[in-house]
Amino acid sequence: PVGAGAGLAAIAADQLRAIVRELDHLSDAGLAIACQNFFDTLDSALVPTVEASPSASARAVLLNRVRRYVEDRLDDPELSASSVAEALDVSVRTLHLAFAGTGTTVGRWIRERRLKVCYRELAHGSGERTVTDVAFRWGFNDVAHFSRVFKQTYGITPSRVVALARRASAS
């Protein structure tokens, strides 16, 4: 149970309760959108605010800096571990060490963030942008690769997400 005063965790809990309450009335596309928004909120709630703590480790502070830097530049097709390291004036090795305890790598984390933004854009889009447009906009330069990793991640093709979103908006 999470109540008032718990910040984003309380908002995420309210979102989950609303999803459960409305489950019978949501289309597949609507449910996918609601769940994605819930996970985005929960993800933000679980990211520690390490810079506020005077005992925070240098790696945790660096990890926070990296995450902010990447979020601000997700649409940069040149975004990579080496470009992030250079911009933050650290070695690529130091950058990889900062991610060592997270269960992912810098490159995978960038790809996951980009995929999440692509999913949101495809699910909420008005249908004016194609899958190719969205993939290129968010730094993917090979549509076949984008479609493959998108389906591996979400269990649905990007074009199917677009079709479900169109059907939901037509209803």
Distance CA 89, CA 108 (A): 21
pLDDT per position as a tens digit, 88-107? 999 999 888 888 878 889 99
**CA-CA distance, 38 to 57, in Å (whole number)?**
29
> What's the predicted TM-score (pTM) here?
0.67
Residues of the chain with pLDDT under 70: 1-6, 44-56, 126-127, 171
Q: May I ask the CATH class of domain 47-170?
A: mainly alpha
Domain residue ranges in the chain: 1-46, 47-170
Contacts of 10 (CB under 8 A, 6+ apart): 2, 3, 4
